[in-house]
Copies of this chain bind each other. A is one copy, B any other.
């Protein structure tokens, strides 16, 4: 059996595990020069692409299952942040060698997540080269329902899903170990670290939340680079300023043993959480609290959209007394090296 037959085997097997493709909106799947997508009337396609590389987005030695899972998860997270329903994806894959076990485990992780979201593999490309996974996802969204970055309004609350900081702590610990520095965490914290690593490797794309926020939130995005930098995108696109109350941030329980400063740094600039941050009017508070219960996803109100103040940065962090944190503290946070 040749390498490409083997790839086909695993991917066809995985694709079949998702169940039959509905006639609409995927008209033609794998096997021709192009796939064909026929959207429904009054719907748009949301499209996002991400490249996923060893050493940049995951550590060398990461289990193939986790690589397959997360390569799709970060793309589904982009659809979630737009309020789009996952429909399909293409996969371009460069592999350094013919490793059947890698392919089997990679496709198992990939299709486990694809099945959960009924998201179909419709095309791709496989070649020899340094390990690189490039996925492009397609979601559908009704016209004018997209959760865009440029629609935050002055007076909105700022919300975030789940908790922040665990994934970034896992990155920091593993980076330190790879650099042969002394272990930053004690043996007693091994259980916490394992839990944090699990969050890093298998983030939950907040697809159901993104869908539920259509017509409720004014703007949204997913947290990949860190709360501070990501919220700055909303602030800049919407031409507003954002104030975050540090005391309201949902710190991941896995990092509750760290010093308060370190917790704040990981939560604010650590990245890799793939939670959703969104803004919504005060009038939506009750709706959002109900959503939190029905989706079994914690949602925290962490700040406010205020009018643009040209003398300050677009995102300000406030202490418990609602005074802005010193610029030096925020600047020092940004020394954190996360995946990019």
Give A residues with C-beta under 8 Å from B.
27-28, 31-39, 41, 44-51, 53-57, 78-79, 81-82, 84, 90-94, 122-125, 127-130, 132, 134, 136, 138-139, 141, 143, 146, 148-150, 220-222, 237, 340
Contact = CB atoms under 8 A, between A and B. Distances in A.
The copy count of this chain in the complex is 2
A146 B49 contact: no
A212 to B, nearest CB: 16
B49 A90 contact: yes
A246 to B, nearest CB: 25
A47 B37 contact: yes
Given A32-B148, A127-B340, 10 more contacts: A33-B46, A33-B48, A33-B82, A38-B45, A39-B45, A49-B91, A49-B136, A56-B127, A56-B129, A132-B134
B129 A55 contact: yes
Contacts of A122: 47
19 contacts: A33-B48, A33-B220, A34-B46, A34-B81, A34-B146, A37-B45, A38-B143, A39-B39, A48-B90, A51-B127, A55-B129, A90-B136, A127-B340, A128-B340, A129-B132, A130-B130, A130-B132, A132-B132, A132-B134
A49 B129 contact: no
A134 B135 CA distance: 9
A36 B32 contact: no
A250 to B, nearest CB: 21
A79 B335 CA distance: 45
B129 A36 contact: no
A139 B44 CA distance: 15
Given A28-B148, A49-B123, A93-B51, A34 B82 contact: yes
A45 B45 CA distance: 10
A49 B132 contact: no
